[in-house]
Amino acid sequence: MYPYNAPINEMNFLLKHVFKAEENWQQFPFIQDNLDLDTAMAILEEASKFSSEQIKPINANGDKQGISLENGKVITPNGYKDVYKDFAEGGWVGFCGNPEYEGMGMPKMLGVCVDEMNYSACNAFALYNSLTAGAALCINAHASEALKHKYLPKLYSGEWSGAMAMTESGAGSDLRHIRTYAKHLNDESYSITGTKIFITAGEHDLTSNIIHLVLAKIKNSDKLSLFLVPKLLVNEQGDVSEPNNVAAMSVEHKMGIHGSATCVMNYDNSVGYLIGEEDKGLACMFTMMNYERLSIGIQGLANGEMAYQLASQYAKEREQGSTVSATGEKVPSCMILQHGDIRRMLLTIKTLTDAGRALAIFTGLQLDRAHYLDEQSGKQSSRFAQLLTPVTKAFFSDRGLECSILGQQVFGGHGYIWETGAEQLVRDSRIAQIYEGTNGIQANDFLSRKILADDLSCLKEFIGELRSNISSFTNVPSPYISQLNSGFDQLINTAESIQQRVAILPAAMSSCSVNYLDAFGYCIYGYFWLEMLHHSDEVSEDFRIKKAYFCEFYFDQLFPKSNFHLQQLENLDSSMLNIPEDCF
């Protein structure tokens, strides 16, 4: 079994040189007194140790053993319980949590690094933490003081965990069809009844209580409200008391993430507490959903990193085939790393993953600025974070599957059998494109809500910001700068042309969205490659040389995909929407 080594040096480079973490942190209340870069790096070293020494070892068995449901109780795979206990005690669950309620208060740009490590080490395990942190974020943002005091400390400490209960059998992408309902019991509580499906971590044995955030309709309303529904009721003293009729009816058999409990949950007159206002639950839930969307994006990113580590190591060990040296001599036997096609695959994984990490930390920074700065100063960052959330979710997870498949291919036949972990990575990666809103839904959100509904203003502002940064990039090949600027122009032109098209035929939006998101993703990865190259000599000459090789590969081979997707959009007319149903 191959090890996992967290890419600490890359993270250090991005935090210190590319995104000037310390300069930013000095502007943030609480953070400014509690964090400097040395401390941050010491924290990441600890996270690295935990992910490689504790989480990674339970990954392969968790896949084979899976979870099981016995008498209504979900049993997680061997080791999960002990590792989760240590993980919680290490403070990792409440890592970015509100310090007023005993969270660690760490910035998100550090949080995304820790998340990446956890997912690289074990997708299924990391999900339990992700749901808990997301639920806490939502409670912190929208719940009453009483609920926050009662629930947040135990969520941040990892003693309890969280779950997000939205989907029903007839209500997936389309939440209007939700049938779970709530009845008013008294001033502070409601009675919740309904069945939810695909509930990640809805039931398990890692924590003493599970806090469900449940979307339901209050009788006679067709709008959604959000409720906090604990698995076990919590008494005045804040301790768990009797059961609350929250039960897992079954667990799903899935392609991957076998260690993650995906439950059909039944709520039967369960007591729930309103979060936010009645009929305004969806907006509250979006706080959690946006958190989870970035988190699931990072799952994809993390899998790209793991795929690279597996495949590059194998490529250096596996001797197969012959090659010809640069001077024309026949080399009768060589490592497969010498073959051009193996390099093509490894470089694809590497350049997508490195740029993805830059975008992830950049997005983390926007979330931090939106959170810590005053409304005026943080406004632009908040808008950028909203724009980028569907991109990180969809583009990272699409590239995550692509990279996992390429990594598996490097192994040849050995990649298809269990032993190397390459095939598990593909199965685990696949879900990230589907859950938390399919990537088609993300693309629709991106194009329709974040771009068109905003009359392209945030898109233009974001691109304008990147453009102005480019002008300061020194020592970066000027052809790449031209390509990037032309890519930006084309992104805006195409968005304008889609805008005109959709004004005439609204249904055309969904036929454009995935290609547009892909075009945007490949283009801004180009920006981050240049930004990384620009800062790379601050590390060392060797580091710069390495980054220059990768940057060249990215611009020659992958950056042109941005333009290709825009070309597909240009070629698209409405005829595909007119094809009669019976032709399919």
The residues annotated with a catalytic role in the active site are 436
Q: In this chain, which of 35, 346, 373, 458 binds its own copies, going by CB under 8 A? A: 346
* Interface map 31-70 toward its own copies (x if CB under 8 A): ----------------------------------------
Alpha carbon distance 357, 367 (integer Å):
15
Q: Which of residues 200-219 bind its own copies (CB under 8 A)?
A: none
537 Cβ partners below 8 Å, 6+ apart?
A: 475, 543, 544
Give least dist CB 38 to its own copies, A: 28
Give least dist CB 83 to its own copies, A: 24
Q: Which of residues 554-583 bind its own copies (CB under 8 A)?
A: 556-557, 560-561, 564, 567-568, 571-579, 581, 583
Indicate the helix (H) or strand (E) that contains 428: helix 422-430
Radius of gyration of the chain (CA): 24
Helix (H, G, I), strand (E, B) or coil at 484: helix
Give the nearer residue to its own copies in terms of CB position, either 141 or 434.
434
Give the nearer residue to its own copies in terms of CB position, either 188 or 341.
341
Is residue 223 at the binding interface for its own copies, with CB under 8 A as the rule?
A: no
Q: Which of residues 535-554 bind its own copies (CB under 8 A)?
A: 545-546, 549, 552-553
Give least dist CB 333 to its own copies, A: 8
Please choose, out of 96-104, 186-194, 431-439, 521-529, the segment that lies near its own copies by the rule CB under 8 A: 431-439
Give least dist CB 296 to its own copies, A: 13
> Residue 519 is encoded by which pair of tokens?
């075009």
Give least dist CB 511 to its own copies, A: 3
Q: Which residues pair with 183 in a beta bridge?
A: 191
Alpha carbon distance 354, 356 (integer Å):
5
* Interface map 231-270 toward its own copies (x if CB under 8 A): ---------------------xxxxx-----x--------
* Interface map 490-509 toward its own copies (x if CB under 8 A): ---------------xxxxx
Please choose, out of 66-74, 165-173, 274-282, 379-387, the segment that lies near its own copies by the rule CB under 8 A: 165-173
Residue 357: count other Cβ atoms within 10 Å of its Cβ. 27
Give least dist CB 149 to its own copies, A: 35
Q: In this chain, which of 16, 81, 85, 427 binds its own copies, going by CB under 8 A? A: 427
Is residue 341 at the binding interface for its own copies, with CB under 8 A as the rule?
A: yes
> Residue 333 is encoded by which pair of tokens?
């036997």
Which amino acid is it at 346?
L
Residue with tokens 């870069």: 37
Give the nearer residue to its own copies in terms of CB position, either 391 or 512.
512
Alpha carbon distance 165, 195 (integer Å):
9
Is residue 125 at the binding interface for its own copies, with CB under 8 A as the rule?
A: no
* Of 185, 161, 266, 178, nearest in space to 225 by CA: 178
Q: In this chain, which of 435, 522, 527, 529 binds its own copies, going by CB under 8 A? A: 435
Q: What Å distances lie between residue 130 and 88, 114, 119, 480, CA to CA? A: 12, 11, 10, 37
Q: What is the dihedral of CA 326, 327, 329, 335, to 10 degrees?
A: -30
* Of 568, 491, 482, 481, nearest in space to 522 by CA: 491
**∠ CA 520-525-529, rounded to 5°:** 155
Give the nearer residue to its own copies in terms of CB position, either 151 or 553.
553
Q: Which of residues 308-337 bind its own copies (CB under 8 A)?
A: 312, 315-316, 319-326, 328, 335, 337
Q: What are phi and psi of 93, to 5 degrees?
A: -65, -40
The bridge status of strand 160-165 relative to strand 190-200 is unpaired
Give the nearer residue to its own copies in terms of CB position, either 35 or 355.
355
Q: Which of residues 392-421 bind its own copies (CB under 8 A)?
A: 401, 405, 408-409, 412-413, 415-418
Is residue 299 at the binding interface for its own copies, with CB under 8 A as the rule?
A: no
Is residue 353 at the binding interface for its own copies, with CB under 8 A as the rule?
A: no
Q: In this chain, which of 24, 433, 494, 562 binds its own copies, going by CB under 8 A? A: 433
Give least dist CB 503 to its own copies, A: 11
Is residue 440 at the binding interface for its own copies, with CB under 8 A as the rule?
A: yes
E strands of 295-340, at which residues? Answer: 323-324, 330-331
Size of the site for its own copies (CB under 8 A): 96
313: left (phi over 0), alpha (psi -120 to 50) or beta: alpha
Give the nearer residue to its own copies in terms of CB position, either 82 or 556.
556
Give the nearer residue to its own copies in terms of CB position, either 235 or 564.
564
Give least dist CB 12 to its own copies, A: 18
Is residue 438 at the binding interface for its own copies, with CB under 8 A as the rule?
A: yes
Give least dist CB 566 to its own copies, A: 11
Give the nearer residue to its own copies in terms of CB position, either 54 or 262.
262
The secondary structure of residue 36, as a DSSP letter, is -
Alpha carbon distance 583, 408 (integer Å):
37
CB contact at 8 A, 456 and 499 = yes
Q: In this chain, which of 430, 450, 501, 534 binds its own copies, going by CB under 8 A? A: 430
> Residue 147 is encoded by which pair of tokens?
């609920």
Is residue 282 at the binding interface for its own copies, with CB under 8 A as the rule?
A: no
* Interface map 508-537 toward its own copies (x if CB under 8 A): xxxxxxx-----------------------
Q: What Å distances lie between residue 429 and 55, 176, 404, CA to CA? A: 17, 29, 7
Alpha carbon distance 347, 82 (integer Å):
37
Give the nearer residue to its own copies in terms of CB position, either 241 or 574.
574
Alpha carbon distance 280, 223 (integer Å):
7
Q: What Å distances lie between residue 47 and 129, 277, 560, CA to CA? A: 14, 38, 36
Give the nearer residue to its own copies in terms of CB position, either 469 or 557.
557
Q: What are phi and psi of 85, to 5 degrees?
A: -60, -50
- How many C-alpha atoms does 338 have within 13 Å on its Cβ side? 16
